[in-house]
Amino acid sequence: MNANNTDDKLEKTFTRRGFIKGTAASAAVLAIPVGSTDASVWQSFFQNNFHEMSPEELQDTIHNLAKKYREKYQADFTIKTNGPRPDTLFGYGLDLSRCIGCRRCVYACVRENNQSRDPQIHWISVLQLKKGEKGVSDLENANMYYAPDEVPEDGYFYMPVQCQQCENPPCVKVCPAKATWKEKDGIVVIDYNWCIGCRFCMAACPYGARHFNWGEPRIPKEELVTETHYLGNRPRYRGVVEKCTFCIQRVRDTPGRYPACVEVCPVGARKFGNLLDPKSEIRYCLEHKRVFRLKEELNTSPKFFYFFAT
Amino acid sequence: MIRPARQPLTVLLYLATALVVLRGTGTATEELPTFFVPPPPFSEGIFPCSECHADMEVNQKPRELTEHTEIAKSFKHSPQQRWCFDCHNPDNRDVLRLANGDLVTFEESYKLCGQCHGTIYRDWKAGVHGKRTGEWNGKKLYRLCVQCHNPHNPRFKAIAPMPPPDTPLLIHNQKHSGGSIRKNPLGKIE
């Protein structure tokens, strides 16, 4: 009896769970370089998910991030954390009968959102499709590598594709870390510090809108945009996923600016506004144009509307 | 006891009133922008027209032009049905003339274009045809029709596209050549 009791006690003291906990904790301590155990390292190690941070925590996080960016890029970054505006649901319209496939939007987006130049990341892909064939129901035959001397080419139309900001986003559903979510104003965002790089979301997205940083992102110093948002265009890390956020750093300003792709489009094919405002440009498109949504049958309910204006 | 039942009713009533009021105040399509940037894109030295035309005799007869030949040559805006004075005002060339005889300045040339292109004009006023910059819920910068379309040859001209994205093959080769072999000037890192 006595011997048995001792065994029980021993078992209780060294449980499997306790052992794993202890190992994990010591591994965590060891993982932090001893020489640089200043507050910021600890802070980023134990940093919470963006939407679980208290205002003070957020302040600390932003401060540390800016410090790290300064070390890395020798530039002073402004990192905004402003939340969704009330009574706002962002919607986007794209006039396919205007788009000429010039790719100005692609590079304006790269610049505004600090996308890596090498390895190359483009949040917008412009697809070239043959007129009078299967339309947009068969994207297999679309070409995104077209490079003629001049566009538009006869017999083709162009369809830029970027994040469709779905109301029912499959990418959010599959994220095992809850590192991506839909904000109240309808923008699907990513906490790059919380993303574990598993790329489930990329597999789930039917639009190919999410992109992975396979290597250390590289941006020329003179082209850095230092006016950033935590959930938007701040520089990313190797091993995280990124995507279009409707230029969250611009559209959430007061008053809100147009996204970079809208402003650069030389033919005015891109429209943007508040879906809840009956007087907005996007509502006018919905009410007066025949709009369609890409891969509507998947029930993702995008807030990105394509139309053919007269 | 009646209260819980009445409250939603009251709310509904308010909503209905609000809707009527909102509808009554007119739509965005009727509001015209108060300013444009940049000003009309005149070719250098061409404005004011009166500088040359003030002392000239007005010849309303359609003919082969001896002046403004570059416009005449590239003119493609229903040339069979069009002559200078369909839009330009013979008596004072510094303004344009609508079909009903009203005179408009070059800053308001959209009114002239809107006479024929009514559906486009309607979309443009609503902010849907044409390029806008600025704030989606604030000040928007409109453009005149002629800032994008040459009024004498309005069809959009083809332009050179920016470089295509790297193909998987390029990325593959890059990897195996042990460095960046990017040809793309826009994505260049030294």
Dihedral, B96, B102, B103, B109 alpha carbons, nearest 10:
-50
Q: Which of residues 74-133 of A touch B (CB under 8 A)?
A: 93, 95, 100-104, 106-107, 110, 117-120, 122, 125
Kindly indicate the confidence band of residue B2, based on its pLDDT and cuts at 50, 70 and 90: very low
Kindly indicate the confidence band of residue B24, based on its pLDDT and cuts at 50, 70 and 90: very low
Nearest-CA residue of chain A relative to B29? Answer: A279
Cβ contacts of A281 on chain B, cutoff 8 Å: 126-128, 132, 136
Cβ contacts of A117 on chain B, cutoff 8 Å: 186-189
Q: Which of residues 119-178 of B touch A (CB under 8 A)?
A: 119-120, 123, 126-139, 148, 156, 158-167, 171
Q: What percent of chain B has pLDDT over 70?
A: 73
Last residue of one domain, picked from the residues A55, A74, A93: A74
Domain boundaries, chain B: 30-54+68-153
Q: How far is A80 from chain B (nearest CA, A)?
A: 18
A258/B135 CB distance under 8 A = yes
Query: Are A63 and A93 members of one domain?
Result: no
Is any Cβ of chain B less than 8 angstroms from the Cβ of A144? Answer: yes
Cβ contacts of A107 on chain B, cutoff 8 Å: 162, 186
Closest Cα to residue B135, out of A228, A267, A256? A256
CATH number at residue A289: 3.30.70.20
A102/B136 CB distance under 8 A = no
Query: Are A50 and A188 members of one domain?
Result: no
CB B166 within 8 A of CB A301: no
Nearest-CA residue of chain A relative to B27? Answer: A279
d(CA A160, CA A156): 13
Angle separating helix axes B118-125 and B109-116, nearest 10 degrees = 130
Q: Is pLDDT of B6 > 60? A: no
> Could you list the residue range(s) of the whole structural domain that residue A49 is in?
2-74
ipTM exceeds 0.85: no
CB pairs under 8 A between A and B: 131
Least reliable range by pLDDT among A67-71, B6-10, B62-66: B6-10
Q: How far is A280 from chain B (nearest CA, A)?
A: 8
Query: Are A276 and A289 members of one domain?
Result: yes
Q: Is pLDDT of A259 > 80? A: yes
pLDDT digits (tens, 9 = 90+) for B106-145: 998 999 999 999 999 999 999 999 999 999 998 888 899 9
Is any Cβ of chain A less than 8 angstroms from the Cβ of B35? Answer: no
B161/A101 CB distance under 8 A = yes
- pLDDT score of B103: 95
Note the residue count of chain A.
Answer: 310
Best of A151, A258, A275, A305 to substitute, by most chain B Cβ atoms within 10 angstroms, is: A258
A268/B184 CB distance under 8 A = no
Q: How far is B26 from chain A (nearest CA, A)?
A: 10
User: Which distant-in-sequence residues (6+ apart) come within 8 Å of B88 by Cβ?
Assistant: B96, B97
Best of B137, B143, B174 to substitute, by most chain A Cβ atoms within 10 angstroms, is: B137
Q: Which two tokens stand for residue A150?
A: 């001049």
User: Which distant-in-sequence residues (6+ apart) come within 8 Å of A126 by Cβ?
Assistant: A99, A101, A103, A105, A106, A144, A158, A159, A160, A161
- pLDDT score of B170: 75
Q: Which of residues 122-141 of A touch B (CB under 8 A)?
A: 122, 125
Q: Which two tokens stand for residue A278?
A: 């009956």
Cβ contacts of A284 on chain B, cutoff 8 Å: 28-29, 123, 126-128
3-state secondary structure chain A: CHHHHHHHHHHHHCCHHHHHHHHHHHHHHHHCCHHHCCHHHHHHHCCCCHHHCCHHHHHHHHHHHHHHHHHHHCCCCEEECCCCCCCCCEEEEEECCCCCCCCHHHHHHHHHCCCCCCCCCCCCEEEEEECCCCHHHCHHHCECCCCCCCECCCCEEEEEECCCCCCCCHHHHHCCCCCEEECCCCCEEECCCCCCCCCHHHHHCCCCCCEECCCCCCCCHHHCCCEEECCCCCCCCCCCEECCCCCHHHHCCCCCECCHHHHHCCCCCEEEEECCCCCCHHHHHHHHCCEECCCHHHCCCCCEEEECCC
d(CA B42, CA B54): 18
Residue B170 burial (C-beta neighbours within 10 Å; 0-12, 13-18, 19+): middle
Nearest-CA residue of chain B relative to A110? Answer: B187
Collapsed DSSP state (helix, strand, coil) of residue B103: strand
Query: Are A214 and A295 members of one domain?
Result: yes
Q: Which two tokens stand for residue A126?
A: 């412009």
B158/A285 CB distance under 8 A = no
Query: Are A85 and A151 members of one domain?
Result: yes
Query: Are A139 and A210 members of one domain?
Result: yes
- pLDDT score of A40: 65
d(CA A285, CA B126): 9
Closest Cα to residue B113, out of B149, B81, B80? B149
Give the count of domains, chain A: 2
Query: Are A35 and A54 members of one domain?
Result: yes
Mean predicted confidence (pLDDT) in B43-47: 85
Q: How far is B4 from chain A (nearest CA, A)?
A: 27
Last residue of one domain, picked from the residues A14, A40, A74: A74
- Considering only the beta carbons, identify the residue of B137, B162, B184 that sits closest to A256: B137
d(CA B166, CA B169): 8
Cβ contacts of A119 on chain B, cutoff 8 Å: 171
Mean predicted confidence (pLDDT) in B170-183: 64
Query: Are A60 and A139 members of one domain?
Result: no
Query: Are A184 and A141 members of one domain?
Result: yes
Kindly indicate the confidence band of residue A283, based on its pLDDT and cuts at 50, 70 and 90: very high
Predicted TM-score of the model (pTM) = 0.82
Query: Are A298 and A166 members of one domain?
Result: yes
Least reliable range by pLDDT among A124-133, A134-143, A151-160: A134-143
Last residue of one domain, picked from the residues A39, A74, A109: A74
CA distances to A13, A14, A15, A75, B72 from A7, in Å: 10, 11, 12, 61, 105
Query: Are A146 and A115 members of one domain?
Result: yes
DSSP B118-170: HHHHHHHHTT-SS--EEBTTS-EEB--HHHHSBTTB-SPPPBPPPPPPPPHHH
Angle, vertex CA A143, rays to CA A286 and CA A136, nearest 5 = 35
Query: Are A203 and A307 members of one domain?
Result: yes
